[in-house]
Structure formats: C-alpha cells, structure tokens
Chains A and B, each alone.
Chain A
Amino acid sequence: DVKVTQSSRYLVKRTGEKVFLECVQDMDHENMFWYRQDPGLGLRLIYFSYDVKMKEKGDIPEGYSVSREKKERFSLILESASTNQTSMYLCASKDPPPVDEQYFGPGTRLTVT
C-alpha cells in the first residue's frame, strides 16, 4: 500500500512564527503536492513538485514556500504564519500516467493564533 505520511495531525502556532509541514511518501513517486482545504472552497493547490529540487506554483502560493531535497520528502514552509493560514493542509503524491491516481496523507490541521 502507498503510504503518505504527514509529520503532525494537529499544530498550533503563533502569528509570525515559521512553520514547517513535512510530508513523506514511500512509493518512489516523482510528483508531490500540497493543498489547503477550507469549508466551501474545496481543495486549493499551493505548490507541487515533479522532481527533486523542482517546484511549481499552484493556485495560491502566496505566503508559502516548499522544499524537495529528497524524492520521498516534500516540505511546506510558512515563512511568517498569519491567522488566515489557519486551515487543513493535505499532502499528496501521484502515480505516473496513465492511471494518475493521487494518494493523500491524513492532513495537518494548523491553527495560527
């Protein structure tokens, strides 16, 4: 079974703190993704990566950065957390075409106070 794990299920941080969210997959996938999920807005793509050290902006990259130093690990960084970044963060990795299935981690619920 593909496993995508995220470093924390729940996180509480203060405004202005630097926050690291870690994601690890064990299926040697090249493609990895970070989403945030908010009620009524569905999943919004923040960043994705298709190879080590490669990254692409998604729909809402502002206020975030990412790091992909190793194939299995994709980190999301909030340089200076703000209250509007309180959300559920979901990491995913993806099979190559043709099936293209995305596998999701359990999510990290981040609260910024």
Chain B
Amino acid sequence: GEDVEQSLFLSVREGDSSVINCTYTDSSSTYLYWYKQEPGAGLQLLTYIFSNMDMKQDQRLTVLLNKKDKHLSLRIADTQTGDSAIYFCAESTMAGNTPLVFGKGTRLSVIA
C-alpha cells in the first residue's frame, strides 16, 4: 500500500538552511504536499508540487522532487525561530475520494 516516510527530528541553527526529506512509495502520486503545524494548531499547507515538475521555489522555500527515487525534499533558507514546527509530507493519488497519505511529520527545532 501507500506509505510516506520522513525522519522525526531535525535541529538547525538560526540562519542556516534546513532540509527536510521524505520518501513515498506510490508511483502514481500526482501531487505532493508540504504542510506545517505550529504548536497547538492544525496543519497549514506550505506548498505543493505536481509530479511532472522537479523543482518549485517560493521565497525561502524550495521543493525538490526526484520521481525516479520517489524522494521529496523541502529546503528552508535562512531558517528562523518562527520556522520551528512539525512539517508533514503528503501525497495524493487522485484515486477517487481517498484522503491524502501523510508521513509522521518531522519536528524542526531552530536554535538561536
């Protein structure tokens, strides 16, 4: 079945770049997503990438997709303390009304 894997923790210094990695198993994935969850809140969509793209940039965020290896990454440039959160990778297969498949989330800690 579908599965999305990500490491659980990442710690970086303020001002450095953060790279959060994700692997997925479903080769029919059409869209891949990054969600951010701040403490005590729901998930908010950060960005998404269509499966026929290999890169998407949005201000400090860069998403890289390697479809051959089924690997997705999120790079945050100039990481700030406000970026501390849990980041979830998710995939969509457009299989009817099924929900997105989420990874377990990566907790990013930014050290001042």
Contacts and interface: CB of A to CB of B under 8 A. Distances in A.
Interface size grouping (class) on chain B? 20 to 34
Interface stretch (B19-27, B58-66, B70-78, B91-99): B91-99
Given A31-B99, A41-B104, A42-B104, A98 B43 contact: no
Contact of A107 (B31, B41, B48, B104): B41
B40 A107 contact: yes
Interface stretch (A13-21, A43-51, A70-78, A79-87): A43-51
B107 to A, nearest CB: 9
B31 A42 contact: no
Contacts, number: 61
A74 to B, nearest CB: 13
B99 A99 contact: no
B102 A43 contact: yes
B100 A31 contact: no
Contacts of B8: 40
Interface string A42-73: 11010010100000001000000000000000
B97 to A, nearest CB: 4
Contact of B102 (A40, A42, A97): A42
A98 B31 contact: yes
Given A31-B99, A41-B104, A42-B103, A104 B31 contact: no
Given A42-B102, A42-B103, A99-B48, A31 B97 contact: yes
5 contacts: A43-B102, A92-B43, A99-B48, A104-B42, A107-B42
Interface of A: 4, 30-31, 33, 40-43, 45, 48, 50, 58, 90, 92, 94, 97-107, 109
Given A100-B94, A106-B41, 7 more contacts: A42-B88, A50-B97, A90-B43, A92-B99, A98-B31, A99-B31, A104-B44
Interface of B: 8, 30-31, 33, 35, 40-45, 48, 88, 90, 92, 94, 96-97, 99-100, 102-105
